[in-house]
Amino acid sequence: MSQSKEMAKELPEDVLVGRNAVLEALRSGRGINRLLVAKGDREGSIAEILALAKEKGIPVQMVERSKISSMAGDMRHQGVLAHVAPVAYAELEDILKRAEERGEQPLLLLLDELEDPHNLGALMRTADAMGVHGILMPKRRSVPLNATVAKTSAGAVEYVPVARIGNIAQTLKALKEKGFWVAGADMEGREPCYEANLTGPLVLVVGSEGKGMSRLTKESCDFLVRIPMAGKINSLNASVAGSILMYEAMKQRLKTE
């Protein structure tokens, strides 16, 4: 086996290299988390790649060509490398339309700068089981959809749409104008989750590992709910907390049917 074939075999499944491969991925709407482009490259198809990335809101990092070469091995990368998602990202409007077509009150999960791919995969698995219509995540400072997320989700990545959003506060404001209520998970929440009304159009907000929700996100919530605990540890893993809230929301919705 040649060295190039060995390198091709070792290339991660969530990485694409080469101008044609990346350009076709962009044109087809495939989910792309981030692009690396060699500094100084602006001509030919690179210009189209950069324009499409800007149009789709995909982060682009200009790096030394040597960095791309070290990641691509002996594969011909032509100065461009893409970190791709296992599935395409969804649009928020498509998620809302999905709930409407089902005749269901929309239930969304917003993750405020979650960073652990295992937590995201676990939350996706629960979201599928609890009837969540979609997950919202900021484009920056959040874990992207990748191979680890797909594996941890046990297939749920194929069924639970994920939309990348810009400003969280603006997104929540727009959803409130559509009739949504926003419930944030917080240890200092006034209501236990089982006493709060989690029916109707709802966004459940779960903060990042360790830090929880940011101040601005917390201020954008209509109300904060807590999960009562009887043990000595006063906090839960983000995926566990999110799963408990999703279950409570599903239970309340089943009662109102």
pLDDT of residue 120: 95
> Residue 206's domain spans which residues?
92-256
Say whether both 115 and 80 belong to one domain: no
Say whether both 45 and 155 belong to one domain: no
* End position of a domain, from candidates 56, 84, 112: 84
pLDDT of residue 4: 40
pLDDT of residue 31: 87
Least confident of 70-84, 89-103, 164-178, 242-256: 70-84
Q: What is the pTM of this model?
A: 0.83
Say whether both 172 and 242 belong to one domain: yes
Higher pLDDT, 43 or 254: 254
Higher pLDDT, 14 or 253: 253
pLDDT at 28 over 90: no
**SS3 for 216?**
helix
Give me the number of domains the chain comprises. Answer: 2
Crossing angle (nearest 10°) for helices 45-56 and 19-28: 30
pLDDT of residue 203: 98
Say whether both 161 and 62 belong to one domain: no
* End position of a domain, from candidates 84, 104, 134: 84
Residue 77's domain is classified under what CATH number? Answer: 3.30.1330.30
Residue with tokens 């959040």, as numbered in its chain: 142
User: Is the C-alpha dihedral spanning 84, 86, 92, 97 positive or negative?
Assistant: positive
Say whether both 51 and 104 belong to one domain: no
pLDDT at 70 over 70: yes
Say whether both 175 and 241 belong to one domain: yes
pLDDT of residue 11: 65
Say whether both 113 and 50 belong to one domain: no
* Reported confidence tier of residue 210, pLDDT bands at 50, 70, 90: confident
pLDDT at 228 over 80: yes
- Residue 164 phi/psi, 5-degree rounding, is -90, 130
Say whether both 68 and 158 belong to one domain: no
Residue 98's domain is classified under what CATH number? Answer: 3.40.1280.10
pLDDT at 9 over 70: no
Nearest to 89 by CA among 167, 145, 127, 140: 145
Distances (CA, A) of 9 to 2, 25, 31, 145: 11, 20, 22, 21
Mean pLDDT of 41-58: 86
Helical spans, DSSP H, in 11-116: 19-28, 45-56, 65-72, 92-102
**Calpha distance 48→253 (Å, rounded):** 47
Say whether both 136 and 79 belong to one domain: no
* End position of a domain, from candidates 54, 84, 114: 84
